[in-house]
């Protein structure tokens, strides 16, 4: 198995720490909010307000389960449009009360069922991209596992993007890439390597800004090793972004995404 596929396998492990567990480890006094005020409460996305070392923040995460029952409840971490609308509702609320937004991304992609399309999946994702680009409050996105296509990007138009050591971020799965490009799913390892989807590839190509390292024995066996590093990064970054004038914050965010596709070594 190639190094890239090893990381893909780790990112997809059912035992891997999920968003709710990260929230419990990183923040205090988390109060979860529910519903999009249009259709339903999508359990694939959890979010609410919390405290990070005395600072009020809005936290939004894409949730996966550790067994079949949990995954059925949260649709295997594939949000419906009402999930993205719930996330946007919380982000707009954060803007109103001047709270930084922290998103935790771990999804194979947005749900592509008929119902999701009927309820405007594409529009919901596109609106999140548009609104996040101009949201007048700091946004930090942390990729904790998989980052699949627009389903991940809908929570990742941020001022800074971090990724756990064994995370991934790509336009689609390597299996989908191989099936579409070559019509040969057996070439999945070749596809994964070509896609440059690992943390090391993504920081080299300026798609992410920081790699958060994991304990050698696995994040699910030593979560504190990683959460200590995330806390340190949040401690350094939140005050800088929060004190930045809004116009400068939005301009830097715009320029950050304008550089996508520019491949050069740091």
Beta bridge partners of 163: 143, 211
- On whether residue 113 sits in a domain, the answer given is yes
Which domain range does residue 132 map to? 3-258
- What pLDDT score was predicted for residue 1? 78
Within a domain: 266: no
> How many domains in the chain?
1
C-beta separation of 91 from 60 below 8 A: yes
DSSP track, 199-253 = HHHHHHTTS-SEEEP--TT-TTT-HHHHHHHHHHHHHHHHHHHHHS-HHHHHHHH
Residue 265, pLDDT score? 42
Q: What is the pLDDT along the chain (266 residues), one digit of tens a residue?
A: 788 899 999 999 999 999 999 999 999 999 999 999 999 999 999 999 999 999 999 999 999 999 999 999 999 999 999 999 999 999 999 999 999 999 999 999 999 999 999 999 999 999 999 999 999 999 999 999 999 989 999 999 999 999 999 999 999 889 999 999 999 988 999 999 999 999 999 999 889 999 999 999 999 999 999 999 999 999 999 999 999 999 999 999 999 988 865 444 43
CATH no. for residue 115? 3.90.226.10
- pLDDT (0 to 100) of residue 260: 66
Q: Does residue 263 form part of some domain? A: no
Residues 227, 198: Cα–Cα separation, whole Å: 20
Looking at the domain assignment, is residue 102 inside a domain?
Answer: yes
110 neighbors 132 (Cβ within 8 angstroms): no
Tell whether 116 is covered by a domain.
yes
Q: Is residue 265 part of a domain?
A: no
Confidence (pTM):
0.93
Q: Nearest Cα to 94, choosing from 63, 144, 132, 123? A: 132
8 A C-beta contact, residue 61 and residue 44: no
The reply to whether 38 falls in a domain is yes
Q: What is the pLDDT of residue 185?
A: 85
**pLDDT for the residue numbered 128:** 97
The answer to the question of residue 264 being in a domain is no
């Amino acid at each position: 198995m190639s190094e890239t596929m090893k990381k893909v396998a780790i990112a997809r492990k059912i035992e891997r720490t999920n968003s709710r567990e990260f929230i419990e480890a990183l923040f205090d006094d988390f109060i979860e909010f529910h519903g999009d005020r249009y259709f339903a409460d999508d359990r694939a996305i959890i979010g609410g307000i919390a405290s990070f070392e005395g600072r009020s923040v809005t936290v939004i995460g894409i949730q996966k389960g550790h067994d079949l029952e949990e995954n059925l409840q949260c649709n295997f971490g594939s949000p419906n449009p009402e999930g993205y609308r719930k996330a946007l509702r919380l982000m707009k609320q954060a803007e109103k009360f001047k709270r930084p937004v922290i998103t935790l991304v771990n999804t194979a992609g947005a749900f592509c069922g008929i119902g999701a399309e009927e309820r405007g999946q594409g529009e919901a994702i596109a609106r999140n991209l548009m609104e996040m680009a101009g949201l007048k409050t700091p946004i930090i996105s942390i990729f904790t596992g998989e980052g699949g296509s627009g389903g991940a990007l809908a929570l990742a138009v941020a001022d800074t993007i971090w990724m756990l050591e064994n995370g991934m971020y790509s336009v689609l799965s390597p299996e989908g890439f191989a099936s579409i490009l070559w019509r040969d799913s057996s070439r999945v390892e070749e596809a994964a390597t070509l896609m440059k989807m690992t943390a090391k590839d993504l920081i080299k190509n300026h798609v992410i800004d920081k790699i958060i390292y994991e304990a050698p024995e696995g994040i699910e066996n030593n979560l504190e090793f990683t959460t200590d590093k995330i806390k340190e990064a949040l401690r350094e970054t939140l005050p800088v972004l929060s004190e930045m004038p809004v116009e400068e914050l939005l301009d830097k965010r715009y320029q950050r995404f304008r550089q996508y596709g520019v491949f050069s070594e740091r």
